[in-house]
Chains A and B, each alone.
Chain A
């Protein structure tokens, strides 16, 4: 007599629109100039990081400011795979994910002893420790960093085909490959999170976010859930790190473990767009990209503008831009709400 529905018309429309966008995105390198592909690469990788931070903070309640540790370790592991083991960079990206997983275990073990603001500071400290340790790694350039060898960058899996297909040079072919991989990664990560939220784990995550004690009192294993979310986010963040630095082909501890690039911007994206929603980071990354393009020549004014904007949104629209839109229109592009339909329920049919 009673039924559970998650599907909505808007949700179905989104699925179709996203499928179309993916197809267009795959075909885009045929017509788009190299600079547009590079911009899109930035947008897609930042969106991936933002979705992952949103999973941690917006759904898991884990406010980490140490995610740059996983970007960095993923990037360095990718470089190690290429330079020390002679692997193809694309394969070495997977090694980056593995390294992030291995780092995440002691990282979480230590950080989970702390709560709230202490957890946030703890993750930051752990990320700094990781950076300092990696900077001691002389074979990978120590504190000054190193570059991918030319033989490796020109022989990346699939670039031959891309060169032949689009008639472009080595460097442009590498950009196109990186862009495609970024597209696959962002779809896999966003799709994975969407699936997670619609599974029973999504309910558990929301319960833990709203009230940890009450979640435990209805049988949710809150400790295991935190571990699972943290490990998933770490692995995917490591993969993203490997990919980003495959594209730049140059690495240094300061760049790979940059708090501003890999965590501060990411938090900005999530806060501006709307924390705890899948739509929020999508809007947030577009805002960040527009601001970056408009204010690129103004140096530190750029960062100050970001800061002021973030504070204004936190004060006046704590649910972000998507929160405003959603409240006005009642729209949810990625519905995760379980509705009970049946007799005697208000709006139930």
Chain B
């Protein structure tokens, strides 16, 4: 198991946003997370990355208890993440964004990271734009940069937060192809997404969250066919 959550709970005041969530993620899996707005998907990510600490429960990463480990250290252990709204370092170039992530996420020297950064830029179709300032990029390129920068930290586990949102069909297809390639090379992926066809083209399992609770987990076909999920998530009268 690369990641194990045991009864993880998180409340903001009286509001329980994560309610006793337990899930095991085997190494190399691609797991999708779906659920209506406000279901607690992003909160769950923040608990895994360490940006938030749970009120109860236990989180294990690579067999080690990381429940209270600071976010920065989890990055160095191999938890990489992208943000729902792209947050590039706007004053730095695309290449410098990756270089920062690579040197601090892995703890190495700049010169040792150059080839790796170039390879990731090639993989994410940003190589041509390596020396452009990130603040000038289009939405698609910002999304690519989110992905590339997370990859540059050298993650064992990659968390993607609505990376396909807001893209056109063609852009989305290109991004999905990139994510599939990254997954095929062995990176474990957990992906929150509303664009279901993009998600289902990559993931092996789907997890459905509603009001902070896991209401279903399993193969995408089975989950999408389940009556409960259709009612809650798709809002369909069945």
Kindly state whether residue B67 has any CB partner on chain A within 8 Å.
Answer: no
A346: chain B residues within 8 A (beta carbon) = 128-132
| Smallest CB gap from B95: residue in A | A340
Q: Are A340 and B92 in contact (CB under 8 A)?
A: no
Kindly state whether residue B233 has any CB partner on chain A within 8 Å.
Answer: no
A217: chain B residues within 8 A (beta carbon) = 49, 51, 71, 75, 81, 83
Q: Are B153 and A2 in contact (CB under 8 A)?
A: no
Kindly state whether residue B93 has any CB partner on chain A within 8 Å.
Answer: yes
Contact segment of B53-61, B97-105, B208-216: B97-105
Kindly state whether residue B158 has any CB partner on chain A within 8 Å.
Answer: no
Output the least CB separation between A228 and chain B (Å): 14
Output the least CB separation between A6 and chain B (Å): 10
Kindly state whether residue A25 has any CB partner on chain B within 8 Å.
Answer: no
Kindly state whether residue A113 has any CB partner on chain B within 8 Å.
Answer: no
Kindly state whether residue B205 has any CB partner on chain A within 8 Å.
Answer: no
A191: chain B residues within 8 A (beta carbon) = none
| Smallest CB gap from A342: residue in B | B118
B69: chain A residues within 8 A (beta carbon) = none
Contact segment of A102-110, A199-207, A232-240: A199-207
Contact segment of A11-19, A33-41, A218-226, A326-334: A218-226
Kindly state whether residue A4 has any CB partner on chain B within 8 Å.
Answer: yes
Q: Are B104 and A211 in contact (CB under 8 A)?
A: no
Kindly state whether residue A254 has any CB partner on chain B within 8 Å.
Answer: no
Q: Are B128 and A345 in contact (CB under 8 A)?
A: yes
Contact for B110 among A4, A216, A219, A220, CB less than 8 A = A4
**A339-B92 in contact given A203-B100, A204-B104, A219-B76 (Cβ < 8 Å):** no
Name the prevailing secondary structure of the B interface residues. helix
Q: Are A218 and B92 in contact (CB under 8 A)?
A: no
Interface size on B, residues (CB 8 A): 43
Q: Are B111 and A4 in contact (CB under 8 A)?
A: yes
Q: Are B118 and A340 in contact (CB under 8 A)?
A: yes
Kindly state whether residue A1 has any CB partner on chain B within 8 Å.
Answer: yes
| Smallest CB gap from B71: residue in A | A216
Q: Are B87 and A213 in contact (CB under 8 A)?
A: yes
Contact pattern, A 76-95, Cβ under 8 Å of B = 1, otherwise 0: 00000000000000000000
Kindly state whether residue B149 has any CB partner on chain A within 8 Å.
Answer: yes
Q: Are B49 and A220 in contact (CB under 8 A)?
A: no
Contact pattern, B 61-92, Cβ under 8 Å of A = 1, otherwise 0: 00000000001100110000101000111111
Output the least CB separation between A319 and chain B (Å): 11
How far is A1 from B114 in the complex, measured between Cα atoms in Å?
9
Contact for A218 among B121, B122, B153, CB less than 8 A = B153
Q: Are B105 and A218 in contact (CB under 8 A)?
A: yes
Output the least CB separation between A185 and chain B (Å): 28
Output the least CB separation between A17 and chain B (Å): 26
Kindly state whether residue B96 has any CB partner on chain A within 8 Å.
Answer: yes
Output the least CB separation between A273 and chain B (Å): 17
Kindly state whether residue B115 has any CB partner on chain A within 8 Å.
Answer: yes
Contact for B96 among A2, A3, A276, A338, CB less than 8 A = A338
**A344-B72 in contact given A200-B103, A206-B96 (Cβ < 8 Å):** no
How far is A97 from B48 in the complex, measured between Cα atoms in Å?
43
Task: Please provide the chain A residues from 295 to 317 with a CB less than 8 Å away from any CB of chain B in the complex.
Answer: none
Q: Are B130 and A219 in contact (CB under 8 A)?
A: no
How far is A4 from B131 in the complex, measured between Cα atoms in Å?
11
How far is A306 from B48 in the complex, measured between Cα atoms in Å?
51
Q: Are B153 and A214 in contact (CB under 8 A)?
A: no
How far is A337 from B134 in the complex, measured between Cα atoms in Å?
13
Contact for B92 among A4, A200, A207, A221, CB less than 8 A = A207
Kindly state whether residue B109 has any CB partner on chain A within 8 Å.
Answer: yes
B95: chain A residues within 8 A (beta carbon) = 338-340
Kindly state whether residue B179 has any CB partner on chain A within 8 Å.
Answer: no
| Smallest CB gap from B89: residue in A | A210
| Smallest CB gap from B92: residue in A | A206
Q: Are A338 and B153 in contact (CB under 8 A)?
A: no
Output the least CB separation between B136 and chain A (Å): 13
B105: chain A residues within 8 A (beta carbon) = 218-219
Q: Are A207 and B114 in contact (CB under 8 A)?
A: no
How far is A4 from B132 in the complex, measured between Cα atoms in Å?
14
**A2-B104 in contact given A218-B75, A345-B130 (Cβ < 8 Å):** no
Q: Are A348 and B131 in contact (CB under 8 A)?
A: yes
Kindly state whether residue B190 has any CB partner on chain A within 8 Å.
Answer: no
Contact for A220 among B72, B88, B91, CB less than 8 A = B72
A211: chain B residues within 8 A (beta carbon) = 87-90
Output the least CB separation between A59 and chain B (Å): 10
Q: Are A1 and B100 in contact (CB under 8 A)?
A: no
How far is A338 from B133 in the complex, measured between Cα atoms in Å?
11
Closest 5 CB pairs of A and B: A218-B101, A219-B104, A219-B75, A2-B118, A210-B89
17 cross-chain CB contacts under 8 A? A2-B117, A2-B118, A200-B104, A206-B96, A210-B90, A218-B75, A218-B100, A218-B149, A220-B72, A337-B96, A338-B93, A338-B95, A339-B131, A344-B128, A345-B131, A348-B130, A348-B131
Interface residues of A (CB under 8 A from B): 1-4, 200, 203-204, 206-207, 209-211, 213-222, 276, 337-340, 342, 344-348
Known contacts A207-B92, A347-B131, then 12 further A-B pairs from the complex at CB < 8 Å, ordered by chain A residue = A2-B115, A2-B118, A200-B110, A206-B91, A214-B88, A215-B100, A218-B149, A221-B104, A337-B93, A338-B95, A338-B99, A340-B114
